[in-house]
Amino acid sequence: MFIYKQFQVCKKCRGTPIQNFYISSDMRNNYICHRLSFGIVFSFGILLFGNYAYWKIPLRYGSPSKHLSHAKLKVSCPEVQFSVTHRPLTALASFPGSGNTWARHLIEQSIGIATGSIYCSDTIKKDFIGECSVSSNVAVIKTHVAWANTVRMRYKKSVLLIRNPYDAIIAEFNRVFANKTTSATEQQFAEKFEPFALKKIDKWKKCYNSWMKFSGQKYIFIYEEMKKDPVSQIGKLLDFLNISKQIRTFPCMQQNIAGRYRRHHSYINFNPKMFYTKILKVKLNAAIEQIEKHYGELNYSINNEMMNEKQ
């Protein structure tokens, strides 16, 4: 009601500039009061809307408030595309089961550039447009082949992805006897794991011994460190790949860290590592010690998680 009256008084103030100059002091005071009232009401409205917006409207970028912590924030991410510039052929080399596909996913989500592969999986091709591609328009090229010089010599750079072999061999066993995202049964481990692991230990050692001799630029990429802090570790990898910081899209990677191809373990009442017999442990520990010699030559720290398995 007060505000309405002030508007009524204000009508008397309307006129030419000269007429307004001669308004009485009472009218002038009413006119000023009207202006002040309007300013107070306007400011109060802005304050109310601002609080509503802060607490109720989802944030597109930046850190959410504590009341929005339950909300799933969405970042608009560009589609993954092939690189428009030629890049040096770079191998993403690893023993199977070491997280190569997951690393490709994180790279693609963080830069929007496709990753390639010497393999051609119809299943993976649905999500990785660079599957089957070994050209210079991809960021890295997936390979598990390391001991053939004719294959290794084509690369200018190499990223050597290493995972705890106790876990990598189990992951590869799951892939062979189950699939890429589920796990083998306890009976399968009991019947088939030991002979399978004996062969894979030799291949694990041969793979990394071979790639350590690569003469081009190489980067040691530890799976356990990537898992612990993917943003920091992928950032360091992108530095090695000479990827401009201007095109990096870490929020896109953060909202889709897992991807579709990380295995969801479903072990029931058993730990698959229990199937590492004493013979397997002795052989695998010897292989680990041999690979650790290369860490010293390259000035990389020894992976503590690998060492813990030897106790």
Burial class (CB in 10 A: 0-12, 13-18, 19+), 203: middle
How many C-alpha atoms does 203 have within 13 Å on its Cβ side? 14
Q: Which residues of 222-240 are buried (b: 16+ CB within 10 A; e: fewer)?
A: bbbbbeeebeebbeebbee
Averaged pLDDT score across all residues of the chain: 77
Total Cβ atoms within 10 A of residue 140: 29
Total Cβ atoms within 10 A of residue 119: 16
> Is 139 a residue whose pLDDT tops 90?
yes
* pLDDT, mean of residues 84-88: 95
Angle between helices 165-177 and 278-298 (to 10 degrees): 120
Q: How far apart are CA 38 and CA 7, in angstroms?
A: 9
pLDDT classification of 180: cutoffs 50, 70, 90 = low
Q: How far apart are CA 46 and CA 54, in angstroms?
A: 12
Residue found under tokens 């040691």: 220
At 178 the three-state DSSP class reads coil
pLDDT in tens, 54-66: 333 333 333 333 3
pLDDT of residue 170: 95
Q: How far apart are CA 226 and CA 92, in angstroms?
A: 14
pLDDT classification of 157: cutoffs 50, 70, 90 = very high
pLDDT of residue 178: 86
Contact of 252 with 109, CB cutoff 8 Å: yes
* pLDDT, mean of residues 141-150: 80
